[in-house]
Amino acid sequence: MNLILLGPPGAGKGTQAQMVVDRYHIPQISTGDILRAAVKGKTPLGARAKEFMDQGKLVPDELVIGIIEERLKASDCCSGFILDGFPRTIAQAEALQPILAKMGKSIDHVINVEVGDEELVRRLTGRRTCKNCGAMFHLIFYPPKKEGTCDRCGGFLYQRDDDKEETIRTRLKEYQRQTAPLIQYYEEKKKLRSIPGVGEQNQIFERIVIQLDALHR
């Protein structure tokens, strides 16, 4: 089963992707994780990507597509995969097709997680990160026991630049401009399955499972 997971920043795609991985035993391929690793490792790719990420902008195609192609060639993708964070644009989607075709593969389904902008801003601005160990918290959903202090190591919790409201709204505008057209693109190909992304994590995942299991009976 070869899947794409679509949805705006803060829609919970990463969480849902991991739940899909656990149920269907296919790897999650997250461009966000790959890019963050490159930024942390201070690679040439990471340095270029960081310039765009710090401004809340999408990383250009040429910095992403090659990474994805190499990852899809790995042996753990033989039985399927779930792409999380790629493609982000029509151009990337069109570039993905020949890459998969060379491997004798194609996309089976595209899951689109739908969440409104104000809910997304509420979710994302509440994130806090430990300066010391990198642990993640949320003021509403996963608050620390002591305000401003990491439960794990006692480090200082801060709001990253990309979790501030101005940056988030920039990211949402970028999403609407570049990524939202993919919804129509995959709908026309009859691959799209839209899922309401509000509610408990397990409720959202159950909606995804119902769609996928119905398609593979």
Alpha helix (H) residue ranges in the chain: 13-24, 31-40, 44-54, 65-72, 90-102, 117-125, 165-174, 181-188, 201-215
Local confidence band at 132 (pLDDT 50, 70, 90 cut-offs): very high
- Identify the residue with better confidence: 129 or 162: 129
Q: What is the pLDDT of residues 168-203, one digit of tens each?
A: 999 999 888 888 899 999 999 999 999 999 999 999
* Average pLDDT value over all residues in the chain: 90
pLDDT of 99 reads 92
Is the pLDDT confidence value at 162 over 70?
yes
Which overall architecture, per CATH, does domain 2-116+178-215 show?
3-Layer(aba) Sandwich (3.40)
Structure tokens at 175: 């999403």
Task: Give Cα 203 to chain centroid, integer Å.
Answer: 19
Banded model confidence at residue 217, pLDDT cuts 50, 70, 90: low
Per the document, the length of the chain is 217
The residue extents of the domains of the chain are 2-116+178-215
User: Roughly what angle, to the nearest 10 degrees, separates helices 201-215 and 13-24?
Assistant: 50
Catalytic residue annotation: 13, 88, 127, 160, 171
Q: What is the pLDDT of residue 110?
A: 95
